[in-house]
Chain A
Amino acid sequence: MSTIAKITMPEIKTFLSSDIVQLWTRIALLPITGIVVFLFCWHIMAKSIDTSLGQFPGPSQTFEQAKTLIAEHNEERAQEVKFHERQEARNQKKLAKNPDAKVKTRPYTGKPTFVDQIWTSLFTVLVGFIIASIIAVPLGIACGLSQSTYAAINPLIQLFKPVSPLAWLPLITMVVSAVYVSDDPTFSKSFVTSALTVALCSLWPTLINTAVGVSNIPQDLKNVSKVLRLGRFSHIAKIVMPCSIPMIFTGLRLSLGIGWMVLIAAEMLAQNPGLGKFVWDEFQNGSSNSLARIMVAVLVIGVIGFALDRIMLTIQKHVSWDKNANLR
């Protein structure tokens, strides 16, 4: 045995220090180890926590519930298909009897599944984020271009930036109920409230980063613009925007991250049928599976937040002119 060890030890060492092994260790082995250790700790600790809703869910219960949620979703979809088939058949029958008969097509009104709620949340955050960006980017450019604008707006930025979404929500809810009145609203009030809360809380990082990016444009490039006599609009389109794109995107990424975080809280209170409402409903429901289902939501929220950031990073890498910049 000892002879074998003597022969192979140096070989093992060179093998372990080879580039390919190092690379795989870094991109796969270490992250997987981290996750496995986390799952193990979670499993152990969950066992020792007893709540009024039963034992705290460990990884296995959570996984079980994830499967259940997907099964529920599939079942609901099957029901919907059946519903439409039935409706279609009924209408056909009616028309066969009397070609002039009025047929009604009703939408399916089943309760939203977990997957539907994910889509609702994504759509809400997207709308809120777009509203925030439409306000923040131009305002940020204005602040970056003019010291006076910046001086005027900066106190407001500093004042409103730290305000929690939960403080805004009652105000926004009341304003939306008062202002957004229509007989056939395209969007529900809860959706508008949630989206506006997201917008209000997530516009600050974009605003600040855009302003910083724009105010840091090198004097040389500004001089080029002056010598070329670029108009105000061309100056912004050809010099200011491309030059500050990296900073604008840094802001947008932070904004989207904050927006996603804020959304869950906003949905809980506004009862927008997204992930926030799912968590709240499960909490109120208080069945023995509730905590595990909430745990599934927690993980999904995390994964989606991560995915959104990666998507933004990909877009940023695509539009950024500085290909040498180390974006992460």
Chain B
Amino acid sequence: MTTENAHLLITKCGIEFPTPKGPFRALRDVDLSIKKGEFVSLIGHSGCGKSTVLNIVAGLYEATEGGVLLNNKEVNAPGPERAVVFQNHSLLPWLTSYENVELAVKQCFGKTMSKAEIKEWVNHNLELVHMTHAADKRPDEISGGMKQRVGIARALSMKPEVLLMDEPFGALDALTRAHLQDSLIEIQKELGNTVIMITHDVDEAVLLSDRIVMMTNGPAATIGDILEIDLPKPRNRLELAEDPKYVHYRSEVLRFLYEKQRKVEPIEAKKESKKASSTEAA
């Protein structure tokens, strides 16, 4: 892919965090170019810097070297054109679902939309995630999956050029997650947003993505491999389960995660320490 038609371009991105023991290098040389409307997943072991990449694109972190271009403009601050769906929904607990979305809409389009248009747009986005019935409920009155839906509605309502999702379904049970993934497929088909999603879930990555970006282990993590998922869209999880291509992609990702980038977890040592602690307890 050439740089010219790239919608979002991450070039030679690296970041260091200052710590009391000296700078800690979390990322190095991250190069990624994303087309408009593309769905890209970031996958890798915990602590490999996936969220850091997302936060740099969001503008919440500033890269130590390299940078991010969106439509050839440098990203240096957070903004609604790069809306974020946070891992733990991050809805304002004192506002209802409607008000949470409304806050975003008013902030982004308060000057261009009339009151009636704002109301319509908020309701439209709640409808998109099937949350109209709980518009007047506060976050603590609805389930985790519903909160995440409202979080997505809030992000979508900003009409973002890029939708950034940080393990959006990580905290949900398998059934709710599947349900929301289907919703996301449906929404993306309708709106054609560019999406970058962080996930731990291999099936989720293959089901949703056009490309899967696999990251090496930190510290100083970078992109290890990129896998193009050439499956026709829209995808159906039941049909795919049997599809040899799907199975192949799935095992590719698994191989990357558990062979090439196997986290060197000293399982034996862990067991021994457990034994030691149990004997201590006894």
Contact = CB atoms under 8 A, between A and B. Distances in A.
Contacts of A226: 59-60, 77-78
Given A228-B103, A228-B108, A229-B78, A239 B92 contact: yes
A26 interface: no
A133 to B, nearest CB: 21
Interface stretch (A48-56, A61-69, A108-116, A216-224): A216-224
Interface string B28-70: 0000000000000000000000000000001110000000000
B78 A227 contact: yes
Contact of B140 (A234, A238, A324): A324
Nearest to A230: B107
B76 to A, nearest CB: 12
A186 to B, nearest CB: 39
Nearest to A242: B94
B contact face: mostly helix, strand, loop, or mixed: loop
A180 interface: no
A303 B108 CA distance: 51
Interface in B80-96: 80, 82-84, 86, 88, 90, 92-94
A142 to B, nearest CB: 22
Contacts of B170: none
A223 B93 contact: no
A228 B92 contact: no
Nearest to B155: A227
A224 B158 CA distance: 12
Contacts of A321: 93-94, 138
Contacts of B90: 218, 220-221, 223-224
Contacts of B84: 223, 227
A322 B95 CA distance: 11
27 contacts: A218-B90, A220-B88, A223-B78, A223-B86, A223-B90, A224-B86, A224-B90, A226-B60, A226-B77, A227-B60, A227-B78, A227-B79, A227-B80, A228-B108, A229-B77, A229-B80, A229-B107, A230-B107, A234-B107, A238-B103, A242-B92, A243-B92, A243-B94, A321-B94, A321-B138, A322-B140, A323-B140
Enumerate the 8 nearest inter-chain pairs by beta-carbon distance, A residue then B residue, closest first: A321-B94, A220-B90, A226-B78, A242-B94, A228-B107, A227-B78, A224-B90, A227-B84
